[in-house]
Chain A
Amino acid sequence: MPQIFPKKANNLPVVSLVGTMFGGVLLILLVWYYFSPDFLWTGYQPSQPVEFSHRLHAGELGMDCQYCHNWVEVSSHANVPSTQTCMNCHNQIQTQSLKLLPVRESWASGRPIEWVKVHHLPDYAHFSHAGHVDAGVGCETCHGQISEMEVVYQAESLSMGWCLECHRQPELYLRPNEEITTMNYVQPADFVERNLERIREQGIQPPTNCSACHY
């Protein structure tokens, strides 16, 4: 009887089995990564109604983060500034600029500018800026080099695992409170010891139990 299949077809079951296993593992790994916050959320850069440039304001002009986001030490939100804050300067500066037209319209009409939220945590995770700023977490630790962003993008994944990295080892990430808003901050050589000292003194204990944030 004629042999339909060549001899090397005997390899087929093994190959397909191995291939499926590898393929499965590869698929799992791909889904794991590409569906994770590290991939999905990092780099999110939505376009905003007003072409506000942090690179200009925070970078070139050197405005402090807390000039606009002024309640960060007090509230759970680091507030997006009201139009009034913009108009503090822009009622005199660039008063005819087309880029600032939505701002002037908002100021005149009293209707808010509809900013698109970039750093969004799910509603079941309660996060408070005040506690973090008080403990010595710098703005750029979580938000990246804002002073170099023309349009703000999400620099870190802000996933729970990412949060826990710091919560488990805060001494690697803290900085003195005077340097909270400093961009491109370079930690001194002995920063870990200093942080450990501070942690000991102030009793800084970032919680890692579930109900600290999920309630």
Chain B
Amino acid sequence: MRNPQTDERAAMADDYTPSDAPDAAAADTAAGASGDGMIELPVIEAGDAYREKPKQRFWRSVAQLEEDPDYKEVTKNEFRPGAEEPPSGANRRQFLQLMGASLAMGGLAACRRPTEKILAYARKPEEVIEGVAMRYATAMPFQGHLRSLLVRNSEGRPTKVEGNAEHPQGHGATSVFEQASILNLYDPDRSRTVQQDRSDTSWRAFVDFAREMHADAANRSIAVLAEPSYAPTTAALRAQLEAQYAEVQWITYDPRGEDPARLGMQQAFGAPYLPDYRFDEAEVIVSLEADFLGATDVNSVMNNRRFADGRRLNGPEDAMSRLYVAESNYTITGAQADHRERMRSTDVRAFAAAIAAGLGVGDVGTAGDRFAGHPVVEAIVEDLEAAGANGVLLAGDAQPPEVHALCAAINDALGAIGTTMLLYDTEEGTQPPQPEPAQAEALTALVEDMQAGAIDVVLMLGVNPVYDAPADLNFAEALANVRRTVHAGLHVDETARACAWHVPLAHYLESWGDGRSYDGTLSVVQPLIAPLYEDAHSAIEILNAFATGRDQSGYDIVRAQWRGVLSENFERDWRRVLHSGFQPDTGYTTVTPSAATITLEDHGEADGLEVVFRLDPSVYDGRFANNAWMQELPDPTTKIVWDNVAMVSPGTAEELGLEVRYSAGNYYADLIEVSVNGTSVELPVWIQPGHADGVVTVSMGYGRDIHSRRSARNTNFFDTDDYTDIYGQGRAIGTGVGTSVAPLRTTEALRVAPNASVSATGQTYQIVTTMEHGAIELESRPLYRMGTYEEFQANPEFVMDVEPYIPKGEDARTYPELWEEDHPKDQPAMRNNPYYKNQWGMVIDLNACTGCNACVVACQSENNIQVIGKQEVGNGREMHWLRIDRYFVSPGVEPEDVPEDPQMVLQPVPCQHCENAPCEAVCPVAATYHSPDGMNQMIYNRCIGTRYCSNNCPYKVRKFNYYNWSKTLPTTTRMGLNPDVTVRSRGVMEKCSYCIHRIRGTQQRANIEDRDIRDGEMKTACQQACPAGAITFGDLNDTDSEVNRWKANPRRYEMLSEYNLKPRTSYLGRVRNPNPRLDEARRTA
């Protein structure tokens, strides 16, 4: 391996003399004093440190690019403006006076030790061991399919969600929604009692009502709006309902609308097959606005994994796929693209048609003429023809079904069906066999019936149509005409308020159920805790009450259903299913049909603005709006927290005269009115580089109105608890955050609304984004290193080209050496330590990481990291131990080089666990120190809060508890805290600990069992959650470990290696695979 230090040193030794130093005065001193035995140190200018001028420029925001003086002022400092301000309400003088007065009385109060109680079980379940966590396999329903999980249960409470590694789909990884779902269980604003006409009643009363309906079922008409589901139990209950009631309208309600992919498959193949993509088999992937890597995608975990598998490069001999993306908004899939074309959502259709015409597929006529001869289209056609069965096209949610059908037809023409595109036949054996009307038609028919008073009972199970049904239906109004309306949901939300009955829904972690994962494998959903509230029941229990008139538990219902699924030896098989989380060999059959000829009409080019509605990558459709973790999670591409915005491109913003002002570290966006067909909503605008012109992208799921029973916390002016308590605002967390865009959506325009207009209101709104937090890339430090596939093949160690040079520095890539002999790690006490034989390290593969945020929420869940609220995030105090930095890339470093379509890259930055950690050297109380196993650890009880360590950390990964955020947590939220991790109080610094509690637990177990730790036995939370498998962690002393294999990768580098910090976390540089023929024609970074 090349050592850039020694090479350069040898080269420079001859021609470097002190008199060459730019700073002549210093040189003279040095030269003059040399005779006295003083050490002569060469003077280094910042510019000298970099061997090659960087070829690219990485920038976080336009303010940075334009060298906004405010930006420079703000990022020069350690802390953001406002970070050191006390909360309003108390000035220092008052505070000190009062503190002085109460000191005398406060001193003696804590002398008596508070009594702690031990509550042992009365009847302990046989398998429970107090202090040892248990894990149960269950599954989370997501868009109708189950995501198989293994959930950790600490003393009867679920505390962490992990993926089920044994399940054929998943590799033990999860997306951001599974991780956050646990906080939904413990939501303090969950509804707790059955309500009738807004007053509390009981579950018994509801069952009586259901029984009454069932008794007269032959004369009743019932409408059910339920979430999409492939669960056999739900299907069976539906069949029972249809057998009993005179008329049953069952509407599968998905807030986005009908799934265009399945409708497309229907068009192409005659049956609504479920498409699954094998990106690991693909050489060429063309995404037509399909955000298949984003968390909102139906199969995002497997997509991430397969896509990353297709691009893992251990050496120049490995091949990697090529991704073309055409989209309107900048998504993380677009960030991974080797070629990205931004265009209107309505133009993607023409783009697809042009590709089809180039390949000779389908009957597209003139639909694609706009893009005929387009270089990217031609490149795609060429690549697809070369790839054949290893090519794949897919279209996204916002595209109409015919585009999906066209993609399927193209895939069929390529021969990709069965290789890169799998089709599952879901209808086989499922009920009901007859085709169902599309959701939009069904809803319209239902509304008409409701208006006419023809429906007796309307059941809404886990859906919120008053909030997100198409606005032109006037669902709320129609609902008012029905006498008996039932809403079952986690919260008393918009729909609950409009209904006669509200039943608290049991969360999936507290209910029995079943379903199928995306590939069809049957699973049972088993609860990890009894429902937190007595009245909470699951959807199947409620359905059962109406279908049979009986109050049966979900357990009995599911078991009864599964008697037909499992063999004769039911109990044994049932236990096996519960143990492993799935029933093997129950996947859908894969089919390989031929596609019909798809006709695509020419819709012409749209003009004017169009509004694209997307599911939010944080709050989804609103079900995570009350989830504090998700509200505070920075959006993957805009890094905005706690709000939703209307995203436009810089070009559109200029055209419309919209601005986002940057002032003292905060953004103030123009508040605009977005109008579609006469209805308008007010949203703050956001200018996103790389966004398509003429499109406004808005997120669903905000502007909720959730009822909360909790009152506002009001404390004395010197008690800062009320200021920092996000749970104590007197309203639900999600209420009033952001703006709902549901009024703009109509049945004709559920995903894309054409002919929109935007006008400025003249007001501004503060938007808090974390995109500049942790801005450490001053003077073009090579933090994110990337190259093209050709560069990589020619020079596998291309990341070393920009490696900075340090005179007399040592090779940063050898472990575990240190630069001083009396470093603590070389002391006998450390060397003789049993921990010394493990040296932990981590590698993050930037080719695999898509920036989906799953690791951030997993870390938050595992380590009891607190949520601090919008204002505090604005002050730069967000507590996430792992942040994902977003950079845009310009091909050159001059200001003119800024493109309209910049590349976006995302880099996770946790604590790097430097061997020569600058934070350790400056802590006055040794609260942060180097453990014998090579990590930098925090000892919370020693910390006195000087924050010098954070000051000295060049990566800015240390987080300080400015307030006592954990003290003010509601009781139910505390239930979700991880008991193995210390909960930090005010005044204490914290940071990524490489999940040391997991390491110590594993070491203890290995010690007791008298063995070494096996590679892969313990995983950090981020490593375990990552859907793409981008993070690996392990023992560097174990020569066979995976982490050592990754460290040997030629793409490996460390961030800020020029400071001789020797971080234990390495990165593998990003390699893009642009089409060599396109490089000249298209701008690439």
Contacts and interface: CB of A to CB of B under 8 A. Distances in A.
Interface in B803-853: 829-830, 832-835
A180 B833 CA distance: 25
Nearest to B941: A124
Interface stretch (B125-133, B507-515, B560-568, B664-672): B125-133
B120 A112 contact: yes
Contacts of B119: 112-115
B932 A209 contact: yes
B939 A116 contact: no
A202 B122 CA distance: 39
Contact of A123 (B932, B938, B983): B983
Kindly state the interface size class of chain B when it binds its partner: 35 or more
* Best-buried of A41, A79, A84, A110 by chain B (most CB within 10 Å): A79
A30 interface: no
A80 B131 contact: no
B122 A215 contact: no
B794 interface: no
A113 B830 CA distance: 45
Interface in B96-132: 113, 115-124, 129-132
Contact of B835 (A40, A106, A128, A209): A209
B551 to A, nearest CB: 22
Dominant SS among interface residues on chain A: loop
B967 interface: no
B53 interface: no
Contact of A71 (B117, B131, B932): B131
A211 interface: yes
Interface string B930-950: 011001011111100000000
A40 B110 CA distance: 12
A147 interface: no
A131 B120 contact: no
A10 to B, nearest CB: 37
A77 interface: yes
A210 B117 contact: no
B997 interface: yes
A115 B116 CA distance: 9
B124 A84 contact: yes
A110 B122 contact: yes
B122 A83 contact: yes
Contacts of A75: 129-132
Contacts of A6: none
A214 interface: yes
A215 B129 contact: no
B834 A207 contact: yes
Given A130-B1008, A208-B829, A71 B129 contact: yes
Interface string A191-215: 0000000000011010111111011
A197 B236 CA distance: 68
Contacts of B113: 40-41, 44, 120
Given A77-B131, A128-B1004, A82 B931 contact: no
Contacts of A203: 834
A62 interface: no
B130 A79 contact: yes
Interface residues of A, number: 47
A126 B129 CA distance: 17
Contacts of A115: 117-120
Interface in B626-682: none
Given A75-B130, A122-B941, A111 B982 contact: no
Nearest to B936: A211
A109 interface: yes
B202 interface: no
A106 B122 CA distance: 6
A71 to B, nearest CB: 5
A123 B982 contact: yes
B929 A210 contact: yes
B538 interface: no
Given A44-B113, A82-B121, A74 B132 contact: yes
Contact of B939 (A44, A81, A210): A210
A173 interface: no
A114 B117 contact: yes
Contact of A131 (B118, B932, B1007): B1007
A187 to B, nearest CB: 24
Given A124-B940, A211-B937, A215-B996, A134 B931 contact: no
Contacts of B939: 124, 210-211, 214-215
A117 interface: yes
Given A130-B1008, A214-B939, A84 B123 contact: yes
B1000 interface: yes
A79 B833 CA distance: 30
Nearest to B940: A124
Nearest to B1005: A130
B993 interface: yes
A113 B131 CA distance: 18
Contacts of B832: 205
A82 B131 contact: no
A35 to B, nearest CB: 9
Interface string A70-99: 010011110111111000000000000000
B996 A110 contact: no
Nearest to B997: A215
A19 interface: no
A12 to B, nearest CB: 30
Contact of B131 (A76, A109, A116, A205): A76
Contact of A111 (B122, B980, B996, B1004): B122
Contacts of A77: 130-131
A81 B120 contact: yes
Contacts of B938: 215
Contacts of A117: 115-118
A212 B1000 CA distance: 7
Contact of B124 (A82, A123, A209): A82
Contact of A215 (B132, B1000, B1004, B1010): B1000
A65 to B, nearest CB: 15
Contacts of B941: 122, 124-125, 214
Given A71-B130, A131-B1008, A215-B993, A110 B123 contact: yes
A24 interface: no
Contacts of A120: 113, 116
A121 B726 CA distance: 31
Interface string A106-150: 110111111111001011111010110010000000000000000
* Best-buried of A122, A131, A202 by chain B (most CB within 10 Å): A131
Contact of B121 (A40, A74, A84, A130): A84
B982 A124 contact: yes
A115 B1004 CA distance: 28
Contacts of B834: 203, 205, 207
Nearest to A84: B123
Nearest to A74: B129
B668 to A, nearest CB: 42
A24 B997 CA distance: 43
A204 B980 CA distance: 24
A23 B817 CA distance: 52
B989 to A, nearest CB: 13
A77 B124 CA distance: 15
A46 interface: yes
A214 B830 contact: no
Given A79-B131, A209-B929, 20 more contacts: A41-B113, A80-B118, A84-B124, A106-B122, A109-B122, A112-B121, A114-B117, A115-B118, A117-B118, A120-B116, A123-B982, A125-B941, A130-B1004, A134-B1007, A209-B932, A211-B996, A211-B1000, A214-B941, A215-B938, A215-B993
24 contacts: A71-B130, A74-B129, A75-B130, A79-B120, A84-B122, A110-B122, A112-B121, A112-B122, A113-B120, A113-B122, A115-B118, A115-B119, A124-B940, A126-B980, A126-B997, A134-B1007, A134-B1008, A202-B1010, A207-B835, A210-B931, A211-B929, A212-B1000, A214-B941, A215-B993
Leading 4 A-B pairs by shortest Cβ distance: A75-B131, A77-B131, A211-B937, A82-B124
